[in-house]
Amino acid sequence: MFKGNLNIDLDFFKMKSPLLIGVDISSSSIKMVELSMVDKGNQAYRIERYVIESLPVDTMLDGGIVNLEAVSECLQRGWKRMGTRRRNVALALPATDVITKKIFVAADQREDDLALQVENEASQYIPFSLDEVDLDFQVIHKTLDSSEEVEVLIAASRKEKVEDRVAAALSADLKTIVMDVESYAAQAAFELTLSQLPESGKNQVIALVDIGATVMKINVLHNGESVYTRDQPFGGNQLTQEIHNQFNLSLEESEVAKRSGNLPDNYKADVLQPFCETLAIEVMRAIQFFYTSTQYTEVNYIFIAGGCAVIPGLTEIIASRTQVSTLIVNPFSSMELSSRIIPKQLNLDAPALLIACGLALRSFDPS
């Protein structure tokens, strides 16, 4: 989406990119993924390296950077652990920080004329001065009922939202080439997994549920188009908090214990199982909101992503509550693995790497 560095305007949707590291700055950690292409004709990829680096508590707030120095230091540590030479990165903003709008304009315009028309249209939908935002657009396709019009997607974000992330990367000696939107990046990576469904999920309604530390993001897809999105304030931090309450550990110790599984015998029955049941109820509520807000009456598949996705038995609990087939997202399932990758560990980490994988894919956008 955005492309450039602090010294120039950052633009959405620019496609021509050097090889990039996909960097997902989430509320609790930074995930970094590096991919290579092994077969351009078949769009076959290999995962070369990845890393997940924890952020200190209270570094992020509502998707925004509160402690830029902590983010920069985390980026530096992650980059060193990866052992890569690449320094160009693709970052992403939360969807809540980006205003998007689809408009229809006359086809076959010169780029300058189209840009001027988009700017005039954007001023009607953006509640800020255009001087305060980074704005870009992309022609999606011609309308079905008219060859004289094209559909254009406009995207805009407050400059400070963009610049905070770019500055954190710059302080870590990394250069931001692309700024995407988290939901778009997640969808791009998720599409790599559709081959495991009958007819690659054609004509199926699929709910992608990304369970983050503080927010559960739901994106319902139908034939590659997002037909519904919703954020619910529930995530893995609730489990960390329960561990903290039950076992008299600090929040930092609780997070470490949650990841390692080094907890008392009653943890599963008294803490983990109730958390999974509550999470499943939240997913069920999200699906019910989808039904009442759209014309759709059925979801065919639920895919879960995020760090909580690999909790043993969670897919079965969600499937039981929702009566929908539930699977775990793994965007690397059909990729080659470099010798640096430990397959068992990647399987555990893959659901949390969805956005970072989608950002890494921006290295291979056509132009």
DSSP string, 329-363: --TTTTSEE-TT--HHHHHHHGGGGHHHHHHHGGG
104, burial (CB in 10 Å: exposed 0-12, middle 13-18, buried 19+): middle
Residue type, 307: G
Assign 3-state DSSP to the chain and report helix, strand, coil percentages, each to 5: 40, 30, 30
Asked if residue 145 and residue 264 are part of one domain, the reply reads no
Asked if residue 256 and residue 311 are part of one domain, the reply reads yes
Q: Note the pLDDT of residue 17.
A: 55
- Does residue 337 lie within any of the structural domains? no
- Does residue 204 lie within any of the structural domains? yes
Asked if residue 216 and residue 150 are part of one domain, the reply reads no
Q: Note the pLDDT of residue 261.
A: 83
Q: Note the pLDDT of residue 321.
A: 96
- Does residue 246 lie within any of the structural domains? yes
Asked if residue 321 and residue 231 are part of one domain, the reply reads yes
- Between CA 165 and CA 12 the distance in angstroms is 15
Q: Note the pLDDT of residue 177.
A: 93
- Does residue 229 lie within any of the structural domains? yes
CATH assignment at residue 109: 3.30.1490.300
- Between CA 207 and CA 300 the distance in angstroms is 8
Secondary structure (H, E, C), 200-244? HHCCCEEEEEEECCCCEEEEEEECCEEEEEEEECCCHHHHHHHHH
Asked if residue 221 and residue 126 are part of one domain, the reply reads no
Domain that holds residue 310: 196-329
Q: Is the dihedral of CA 185, 190, 191, 192 positive or negative?
A: positive
Output DSSP code: residue 148.
Answer: T
Asked if residue 106 and residue 216 are part of one domain, the reply reads no
Q: Which of 318, 314, 307, 316 is nearest to 351 (CA)?
A: 307
- Does residue 345 lie within any of the structural domains? no
Length of the chain: 367
Domain count, the chain: 2
Q: Quick check: 166 and 159 in contact, CB under 8 A?
A: no
- Does residue 228 lie within any of the structural domains? yes
Token pair belonging to 247? 């076992």
Q: Quick check: 152 and 63 in contact, CB under 8 A?
A: no
Asked if residue 321 and residue 217 are part of one domain, the reply reads yes
Asked if residue 299 and residue 213 are part of one domain, the reply reads yes
Asked if residue 211 and residue 318 are part of one domain, the reply reads yes
Q: Quick check: 116 and 135 in contact, CB under 8 A?
A: no
Give the count of beta carbons closer than 10 Å to the beta carbon of residue 286: 23
CATH assignment at residue 302: 3.30.420.40
- Does residue 25 lie within any of the structural domains? no
**What does each C-alpha distance from 211 to 216, 229, 238, 353 come to in angstroms?**
4, 14, 11, 12
Torsion angle of the four alpha carbons 276, 29, 232, 284, in this order, in degrees rounded to the nearest 10? -30
- Does residue 349 lie within any of the structural domains? no
- Between CA 61 and CA 76 the distance in angstroms is 21
Per-residue pLDDT of the chain (367 residues; tens, 9 = 90+): 433 333 333 444 454 457 899 999 999 999 999 999 998 777 899 999 999 999 998 899 888 999 999 999 999 999 999 999 999 999 999 999 998 888 888 888 888 888 888 888 888 888 888 888 888 888 876 555 556 788 888 888 999 999 999 999 999 999 999 999 999 999 999 999 998 899 999 999 999 999 999 999 999 999 999 999 999 999 999 999 999 999 999 888 898 889 888 899 999 999 999 999 999 999 999 999 999 999 999 999 999 999 999 999 999 999 999 999 999 999 999 999 999 999 999 999 999 999 999 999 999 875 4
